[in-house]
Amino acid sequence: MNKVCILLFLPLLLCGQPQDVPLVMYAAGKIDYEGGASGKSIPVYTGIYLTGQGRLSLGEDASLEAISGDQFVRLTSPGRYPLSDLFAEEARETGFIDRFINFVRRGLEQSGTAEDLERAYQENQGNAQGNINGLGDAGLSGLLPFGGTLFPLPTTFTWPGDNAATSYRIRVVDSLTEAVVLTATTRDTSLLLDLSGLYLQDNHRYYWEVFPNAAPSSRPSRLGAQAPAVAGTRIYFTYRDRDRSQVLAPVTGLPMYRGTASEAQRRLLEAMALEEADYLYAADRAYRDGLAEEPNNPIIRRAYAAFLSRWNQRSLARNLIRTR
Amino acid sequence: MAPSRHVHALIITALIFALIGAVRLVTFNIHYFDPFNNGIRDYEITDILFSQLRDPERVDREERIVLVHIARPERAEVARLLNLIGSRSPRVIGVDILFAGRKDAEGDSLLAAAIARNPAVVLASNLAPYDDERRGIPGMVYSDSLFTREARSAYTNFLAGTDRTVRLFNPFITTLTGERERAFGVALAEAYDPNRVGLLRWRYGDRPVRINYSGGYRRFLRVDGRALLETEDEEPLAVFRDRIVILGFIDSQQPDAPIEDRYFTPLNEAYTGRSLPDMYGAVIHANIVSMILDGRYIFELPPWLEALLAIVFTYVNVLVIHAIYHRLPDSYHGVTRIMQLVELFCFFFLVALLFYHFRLKIDFSTGFLALVLAYDIVMIYESFIRKRIPLLNAPDHE
């Protein structure tokens, strides 16, 4: 009996222990490890084992990747990260059977009826859309502007709140040169920026991103897991020094536009023209203005929901229809 | 005497395989179908397992290998890096760069001196293009003799071009001149643990080996070569002690990172159709080294056994489908299609499970294709062939 117990448990004792000590797989920039086994603050480099329950401190532009057991963590934002938080929870493991069933389900959805195809398409939107780096609906929900082209007008940048954040840092960056055009810190979850006052070049591509300035206890994202709602999502947009009325000229000249008594219908036509010209933020405003005029107009509600769905704001779109 | 049901099943099975052979012969030899053919040829069922059925949350870390990114292979810089890394006694330094010809005298001499100073260096070489007439590799393309004088060289070629998925590599190749060459990964693994390479040689000889990818760049220790040169600290160099170091182009893994020396692998999320190459050559070499050191090879059934399995599988299915055709003529279509679907699902699951848990790869695509065709061939046999060949019928058969 004893022999059986030894044979069963010896491998468990022999394996796994060294792998559980976090190992730094990649380190760039200024990174320190404070309060570890040595009790001192030590600089962190690739190949260092992070022993004890210390705290990682990342400077500006630093990045770090570490593995403990088979858990992978990547840190790219400046801040302090207690090691106990980074590897506190076991990553949610999906078994082989689950992954197999998911794979078959996706395959069936993509080869089924037109309705299924649409659903599969929507589920894959996050990866398919060119202007977003990967988070799909979860990463885009509540973010505005969410891509397209922007006018040189006051624009409200909006993002969802993060409970752990004390403030937010928003950046507007030139996507080609990575030059930072603007950095601002705010306590709110929105910021009004007059784009005509920024040094933006006509027809250039930029992205904006927002980082919650996390309290010490907040955890960074683990690669592959559901990321925090806003951190790290880059939203690309094109800036065009063009007049709004110029874009709307083909619509405002129409007899239907001039002849209608309904302001809501005018906003609807404008929204469609703006979306057609890729001015998504302006189109969104036009839909909202239309809804403000006639909140119960089913045509505007459905057109707005369809617009939101097309641009990855599916949760909002669903709510818009379900409240009816 | 009328032929038994087994004879019918055998004939139908033979027809199915004849059709599969004919279809392959026709489609794969017509240039018009090239895009279609390329898609099919560059796809294996195990690609789905590598790319879709692995748990992306889990990363199996590899501590024996360090990857060093060199953005521009300036020879003087590489020389400085070799001196820095070599000062920390790594087991072996693989340089995944071909230094063809001589450039500037200063850089060349510095690099030659650095290589001479570090006996652990293995330089990259390439196999010369395959000679169709003589059926073999005529020779090797080495770095300039100034550098290879004091260092070993090993070829970095994989058994696929940059437009195909890298699944295999040749551990050893004997050129037409009689030289026995070894792959880059094999040379690195041999420097670390010669016994493991002995095992590889014993098992595979000169045959191609399927690469068991354990993961992408995340599982390896990585250092930026430029940052290493800029720092004055000694601590970052400690990572190289007693480890296998691979110098090469290992940029970020973002989709817009340079495509240089980047290949398609079965880990690519898009396992069919168009996508971006997903892994740098140096990371593939690192995967090969890791596989050899762990002895975690992919087992494959011999082709004759796979063929036998496919024939038996088809034969049994034809027996059943043929029986359904006669006994349940009204529901033949529905019952057979459901049976095919259930079987396809179960066998795919079985193939996936065997690969995932036992690293056993079974190529059952012919069996799957035969199963799909069985329904139609049974109908063609019964309604067309059998009616025209009296020998296949009982005397009272209409």
Domain contains B33:
yes
Contact map slice: A 91-130 vs B, CB within 8 A: 91-94, 96, 99-100, 103-104
Tell me how close the Cα of A83 comes to any Cα of chain B, in angstroms: 18
Distance CA(A156)–CA(A171), nearest Å, equals 14
Q: Tell me the residue range of the domain where B374 lies.
A: 5-41+300-392
Instruction: Answer yes or no: do B114 and B252 share one domain.
Output: yes
Instruction: Answer yes or no: do B115 and B129 share one domain.
Output: yes
Instruction: Answer yes or no: do B326 and B373 share one domain.
Output: yes
Helix A263-276 crosses helix A280-293 at what angle (to 10 degrees)?
170
A-chain CB neighbours of B214 within 8 Å are none
B-chain CB neighbours of A72 within 8 Å are 57, 59, 218
Maximum distance among all Cα pairs of chain A, rounded to whole angstroms: 93
pLDDT band at residue B339 using 50, 70 and 90 as cut-offs: very high
Dihedral of alpha carbons B331, B337, B341, B346, sign: positive
Domain contains B49:
no
A-chain CB neighbours of B352 within 8 Å are 96, 100
Note whether A93 contacts B66, CB cutoff 8 Å. Answer: no
* One-letter amino acid of A314: R
Instruction: Answer yes or no: do B217 and B144 share one domain.
Output: yes
User: Which of residues B269, B297, B325 is at a domain's end?
Assistant: B297
**Averaged pLDDT of chain A:** 76
Domain contains B50:
no
Measured CA to CA in angstroms, residue B265 lies from A230, A272, B140 at distances of 32, 43, 25
3-class SS string, B234-283:
CHHHHHHCCCEEEEECCCCCCCCCCCCCEEECCCCCCCCCCCCCCEEHHH
Note whether B222 contacts A26, CB cutoff 8 Å. Answer: yes
Domain contains B342:
yes
Closest-CA residue in chain B for A225?
A: B57
Q: So what's the pLDDT on residue A193?
A: 92
Give per-residue pLDDT as tens, A239-255: 999 999 999 998 888 88
Closest-CA residue in chain A for B269?
A: A127
* One-letter amino acid of B67: L
**Residue B68: is its pLDDT beyond 90?**
yes
User: Which of residues B297, B325, B356 is at a domain's end?
Assistant: B297
Look up residue B267 and give its two tokens.
Answer: 């880990």
Domain contains B113:
yes
Domain contains B46:
no
Contact map slice: A 28-87 vs B, CB within 8 A: 28, 43, 45-48, 65, 67, 70-72
Distance CA(B249)–CA(B247), nearest Å, equals 7
Does the beta carbon of A224 lie under 8 angstroms from any beta carbon of chain B? Answer: yes
Q: So what's the pLDDT on residue A15?
A: 43
Note whether A104 contacts B220, CB cutoff 8 Å. Answer: no
**Residue A219: is its pLDDT beyond 60?**
no
**Number of structural domains found in chain B:** 2
Note whether B236 contacts A45, CB cutoff 8 Å. Answer: yes
Residues of B contacting chain A (CB within 8 angstroms) = 48, 52-61, 63, 66, 218-224, 227, 233, 235-236, 238-239, 345, 349, 352-353, 356-357
Look up residue B303 and give its two tokens.
Answer: 């082709």
pLDDT band at residue B259 using 50, 70 and 90 as cut-offs: low
Q: So what's the pLDDT on residue A150?
A: 94
Best mutation target, B46, B49, B55, to test chain A (most A CBs within 10 A): B55
Instruction: Answer yes or no: do B74 and B144 share one domain.
Output: yes
Instruction: Answer yes or no: do B139 and B238 share one domain.
Output: yes
Any idea which of A51-65, A68-82, A132-146 has the lowest mean pLDDT?
Answer: A132-146
Give per-residue pLDDT as tens, A80-128: 888 888 876 555 566 777 777 777 776 665 555 444 545 544 554 444 3
Domain contains B339:
yes
A-chain CB neighbours of B233 within 8 Å are 43, 45
Residue A189 contacts residue A168 (beta carbons within 8 Å): yes
Contacts of B174 (CB under 8 A, 6+ apart): B180, B181, B206
Instruction: Answer yes or no: do B137 and B238 share one domain.
Output: yes
Instruction: Answer yes or no: do B90 and B236 share one domain.
Output: yes
A-chain CB neighbours of B271 within 8 Å are none
Instruction: Answer yes or no: do B217 and B283 share one domain.
Output: yes
Domain contains B55:
no
Quick check: bond before B395 cis, omega within 30?
Answer: no
Q: So what's the pLDDT on residue A92?
A: 58
Domains assigned to chain A: 18-86 (no CATH), 96-123 (no CATH), 148-236 (2.60.40), 244-322 (1.25.40)
More confident residue, B218 or A105: B218
Nearest by CB: A70 against B52, B60, B353: B60
Instruction: Answer yes or no: do B222 and B280 share one domain.
Output: yes
Look up residue A219 and give its two tokens.
Answer: 């955890």
Distance CA(B394)–CA(B396), nearest Å, equals 5
Instruction: Answer yes or no: do B144 and B131 share one domain.
Output: yes
The complex's ipTM works out to: 0.82
Look up residue B387 and give its two tokens.
Answer: 């009616």
Contacts of A312 (CB under 8 A, 6+ apart): A125, A126, A129, A132, A136, A137, A140, A146
Residue B45 contacts residue B365 (beta carbons within 8 Å): yes
User: Which of residues B297, B322, B345 is at a domain's end?
Assistant: B297
Instruction: Answer yes or no: do B243 and B150 share one domain.
Output: yes
Residue B155 contacts residue B140 (beta carbons within 8 Å): yes
